[in-house]
């Protein structure tokens, strides 16, 4: 069971000039602690908006896992000739990722948590993370304009923090990023 998921045919919407302006991917990832040498996983990597800059930041010696439930989305990334350290991972159900336990330093989950059963989804993310690894959640503000997913599907930062706690994460930061998105940063405990 999962909520409505973003359709691959709309992938160009994820890479608009406006989004790049209000949510600059490389700057955002560095701001929230992504560094060279880290192993990174972008869960729901979509068209590669965060994945490609993340792969560049960590450098070619470190894996950048592109995890998506949509094969079409993974094909969009492949068509962009991504950096050589990008490793595509298809997940059939969206709740089991073919990545070893404790392998990842940094997980990105952007515009995806609201599309899933949060605790089931977060527990699988936690499994692939090293102790004290970082999880960056970016999601749609519920108090923002109507553009984006249905209001009733969106989560508030407080709801996200409660799901994180249930899934054995410690939220360390919650920030309103712009008119559309907020970020919650958490550590695996």
Using CB under 6 A, list all residues that contact ligand SAM: 5-6, 14, 43-46, 49-50, 67-70, 73, 91, 94, 110-112, 115-116, 121
Of 49 and 163, nearer to ligand SAM (C-beta) is 49
Across the beta sheet with 64-68, the strand order is: 86-90, 64-68, 40-43, 104-110, 129-140, 181-188, 169-176
Of 54 and 171, nearer to ligand SAM (C-beta) is 54
Of 22 and 132, nearer to ligand SAM (C-beta) is 22
Cβ distance 187 to 167 under 8 Å? Answer: no
What's the min distance (Å) between Cβ of 84 and ligand SAM? 21
Report how far Cα 179 is from the mean position of its chain's Cα atoms.
Answer: 19
What's the min distance (Å) between Cβ of 96 and ligand SAM? 9
What's the min distance (Å) between Cβ of 111 and ligand SAM? 4
Cα dihedral: 106, 89, 94, 70 (round 10): 120
Q: How many CB atoms lie within 10 A of CB 177?
A: 14
What's the min distance (Å) between Cβ of 48 and ligand SAM? 8
Of 40 and 112, nearer to ligand SAM (C-beta) is 112
Of 1 and 131, nearer to ligand SAM (C-beta) is 1
Measure the CA–CA gap between 10 and 88, rounded to whole angstroms.
20
What's the min distance (Å) between Cβ of 43 and ligand SAM? 6
CA distances to 83, 88, 97, 114 from 140, rounded to whole Å, are 28, 25, 24, 8
Would you call 122 exposed, middle or buried from its count of C-beta atoms within 10 A (0-12, 13-18, 19+)?
buried
Of 4 and 36, nearer to ligand SAM (C-beta) is 4
What's the min distance (Å) between Cβ of 184 and ligand SAM? 14
Bridge partners, 137 (sequence order) = 109, 184
């Amino acid at each position: 069971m999962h909520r409505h998921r973003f359709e691959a045919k709309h992938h160009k919407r994820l890479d608009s000039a406006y989004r790049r302006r209000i949510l600059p991917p490389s700057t955002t990832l560095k701001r929230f602690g992504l560094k060279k040498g880290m192993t990174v996983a972008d869960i729901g990597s979509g068209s590669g908006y965060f994945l490609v800059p993340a792969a560049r930041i960590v450098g070619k010696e470190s894996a950048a896992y592109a995890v998506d439930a949509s094969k079409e989305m993974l094909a969009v990334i492949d068509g962009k000739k991504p950096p050589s350290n990008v490793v595509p991972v298809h997940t059939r159900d969206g709740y089991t990722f073919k990545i070893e336990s404790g392998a990842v330093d940094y997980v990105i989950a952007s515009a995806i948590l609201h599309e899933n059963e949060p605790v089931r989804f977060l527990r699988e993310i936690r499994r692939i993370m090293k102790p004290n690894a970082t999880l960056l959640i970016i999601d749609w503000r519920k108090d923002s304009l109507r553009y984006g997913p249905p209001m009733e599907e969106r989560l508030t930062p407080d709801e996200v923090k409660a799901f994180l706690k249930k899934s054995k994460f410690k939220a360390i930061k919650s920030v309103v990023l712009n008119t559309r998105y907020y970020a919650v940063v958490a550590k695996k405990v």
